[in-house]
Structure 1
Amino acid sequence: MITLSKHQRIGLAWAGVAAALGLLLWLLAPVLAPFIMATVLAYALAPAVQALADRRVPRIVAVLVVELLFVMAVLALLLLVLPILNQEIPALREQVPALATAANQKLVPWLSAHGIHLQLDPASIKAFMLKYLDANLEDWLSTVLSSARIGGSFLLALIGNAVLLPVVLFYLLHDWPQLRMRAWALVPPAARGPVGSFLTECDAMLGQYLRGQLLVMLVLAAYYSAGLSLAGFDLALPIGVFTGLAVFIPYLGFGLGLLLALLAGLLQFASVYGVVAVAVVFGVGQLLEGFVLTPRFVGERIGLSPLMVIFALLAFGHLLGFIGVLIALPLSALAAVAVGRLRRAYLASALFR
């Protein structure tokens, strides 16, 4: 019979509580998604609210100002996509059939010579474009909802979350100091020393990560805008700013920006120049981000290899959907702190004496 010490029993009890909470989060992920997102945003925005409150601004006013500025920033980022769609959708209707004809004349023979048989039908592509790209927004929305078999419930859920998120964020920011005190009061007095040290290290890592990531986003937004502008892109500014700011979502943000840039290059130049220009600008941008900006501004504090980053994004995305992708790296950084402490404790244990 195995006899456990008091500390081991307490550790197992906390591990059981953590496992139960993890299971509950997984089961209630669709319902908890706006609350999790609001909590992450509250953690990021709380220092700005506290800075205004320290300057004798009433806390409710500070919360309203910070949240309003954040909502305006998000709306501005979303509005960057509108001029892209406004120009590219008509161009798609006109250029895609012509591109298909050119591909049939130049690309298809080359592929056939290498054993790849492909045939495009420009007439069918043109009919498809005229059918769907001439439709208005209401027709598009109706088609998407009916084809996905989700009906009005999806739209209601989307609107509900859009309304719920800022409301939850407001109350979290307003009550943030009290919430922290209540959470701290739940920690047993005997464990407050190591728990406080752990939380301080986590807070320092997350703070450095967020500040560094913000600098990386701003520099990349300026770079992509300037690079695409020098290449002659009409939509250089909206695509560049969107790509730079969207890199906050690793890989996914860069991929969306690259897709928009490739589409804009093909439609504007209708030649291989657009693809080459995008490849050069985005290739240099990846090198700049990976070898200069991220090591300099974010550093190695997160302690994750690129392979682990991809795994974290896939794992959290599978468990929590899009919200999981957003919080994958911050939570992985916290896990890295915990693993580092466990490793140091293990190496300092009696097994290595």
Structure 2
Amino acid sequence: MRRQWWVVTAVAAVGLWFLISIEPVLMPFFVSMILAYLGDPLADRLEAQGLSRRLAVSLVFLLLTLVIVLTLLVVVPILGRQLGQLIESLPTVLTWVQQTVVPRIQSLTGLDLSTDIDQMRKAFVDNWKETGTFAASLLAQVSRSGLAVAAWVANLALIPVVTFYLLLDWDILVAKVRGSLPRNWEPAAVRLAGECDEVLSAFLRGQLIVMLCLGVIYAVGLTLLGVRFGLLIGMLAGLASIVPYLGVIVGISVAGVVAFFQFGDWLILLGVATVFGFGQLVESVVLQPKLLGDKIGLHPVAVIFAVLAGGQLFGFTGVLLALPVAAMVMVVLRYLHEHYKNSTLYDAGRQRTHDEESP
């Protein structure tokens, strides 16, 4: 038995080393796995309605493609334009802070921050110019490198192809993996896989829908108020809501500053607070109970650590996989903790005391 565990450990170590070695080429495959996992339940439902697997997968694949293409064509250009306008307006904001806010702070506290703000504004303007020059030179260099461009295009082209075939054979792959498990491991493995599927479903499907809905609510509300960069701020706040309360804190802070600087009226802050308060109400009353419940079980600190650790270890691929892997790790840790609480190691002291008290 011990020898079997050594073999399993060695195989796992070699597999981990292999994945780390080929990390630069894994990104399109992991993206395809996530898309296939998200689309498989819909394909199964269409298949249950009498469609063939290939036709069901083709319809799901077409739907995913339309959503991605529409997002790239409609939302991304608007976000990019608003981001550029926001960056261009930051020096003006810093000047306003230096001329309006700093004197009030100085009169109340006696602190002179004008020099620091002025240095910050100058540093931002200088670095922004240098960043633009660096980005232009980098783009020119990449454009001259045909191999880099070809690799980038090839990775993007692989995603739809791999996604289609994974969707087509998803159930077959799952059945083969289950059939390859050692028979005495299968019950525990199937149980863990079921719990991981619940957590991943709640996160990848539920949490993403919650983030999207909050982003739309914030963006529409801020836009109706007439706040500049409403779409950008709303979507960023929706993305930040992956960590509980972070989205509303970031969104209301940035939107409040932008709105007050734009209108110069304290009443606009009440409108901004109303938008984010309505979003929080919808999340707590409708979105969270209906889509998530208590299935994820990831602490906000664990979410932050997982994203940072994944990015540090595997770059962008690690960021993509950080939270799904963290969710599965939490399931395994809960399983191990349950076994530990039922083991003789945990209960040894109580058992020994019971034996000593027994006649």
Pairing partner for 2:76 from 81, 92, 107: 81
| Equivalent position of 1:14 in the other structure | 8
- Compared with structure 1, are the counterparts of its residues 254 and 76 closer, same or farther at alpha carbon in structure 2 (3 Å cutoff)? farther
Query: Does the alignment pair 1:66 with 2:66?
Result: no
- Return 5+ residue gaps in structure 1 as ranges: 1-5
What do the CA deviations read for 1:275-296 (whole angstroms, capped 9, x no partner)?
9579736864785588665466
Q: Output the aligned Cα RMSD.
A: 4.4
Deviation at 1:185, TM superposition (A): 2.4
Change (3 A) 1:85 1:218: closer
- 2:207 alignment partner in structure 1: 213
Q: Report the counterpart of residue 357 of structure 2 in structure 1.
A: none
| Shift in CA distance, 149/158, structure 1 to aligned 2, threshold 3 Å | closer
| Residue correspondence of structure 1 range 195-234 to structure 2 within 5 A | 195-233=189-227
User: What does residue 99 of structure 2 align with?
Assistant: 105
* Pick aligned residue for 1:340 from 327, 334, 337: 334
Which of 312, 316, 325 is the aligned partner of 1:318?
312
- How far, CA to CA, are the matches of 1:258 and 1:144 in structure 2? 32
Shift of the 30–303 alpha-carbon distance from structure 1 to 2, 3 Å rule, reads: same
Which is worse superposed, 103-112 or 201-210? 103-112
Pair 1:329–1:91, CA change in 2 (3 A): closer
Corresponding residue SS for 1:196: helix
Which aligned pairs between 1:279-298 and structure 2 lie closer than 5 A? 280=273, 284=277, 293-294=287-288, 297-298=291-292
- Of the candidates 124, 143, 168, which is equivalent to residue 137 of structure 2? 143
Structure 1 residues 171-190: aligned runs within 5 Å: 171-190=165-184
Q: Identify unmatched segments of 5+ residues in structure 2.
A: 352-359
Q: Is the 8 A contact 2:227 2:255 kept in 1?
A: no
Partner of 1:114: 111
Q: Counterparts of 2:10 and 2:208 in 1: how far apart (Å)? A: 37
Asked if the contact 1:246/1:254 (under 8 Å) is kept, the reply is yes
Q: Shift in Å at residue 260 of structure 1?
A: 12
Counterpart AA for 2:218: Y
Q: Indicate which of 269, 287, 295 corresponds to 2:262.
A: 269
Say which of 325, 343, 347 aligns to 1:349: 343
- Rounded Cα–Cα distance in structure 1 between residues aligned with 2:141 and 2:344: 62
CA distance in 1 between counterparts of 2:215 and 2:128 reads 34
Of 240, 243, 246, the match for 2:239: 246
Aligned residue-pair number: 339
| Alignment match, 1:3 | none
Measured after TM superposition, the shift of residue 218 of structure 1 is 4.6
In structure 2, C-alpha distance between the alignment counterparts of 1:316 and 1:90, rounded to whole Å: 31
SS of residue matched to 1:213: helix
| TM-score calculated relative to the size of structure 2 | 0.74
2:158 to 154, 160, 164: 164
Give the TM-score normalised by structure 1. 0.75
**Percent identity of paired positions between Structure 1 and Structure 2:** 29
Residue 163 of structure 1, CA deviation = 0.8
Is this contact kept in 1: 2:200–2:324, CA < 8 A?
A: yes
State the shift of 1:165 in Å. 0.9
Residue 26 of structure 2 corresponds to which residue in structure 1? Answer: 32
2:323 to 329, 349, 353: 329
Q: Which moved more, 1:339-348 or 1:259-268?
A: 259-268
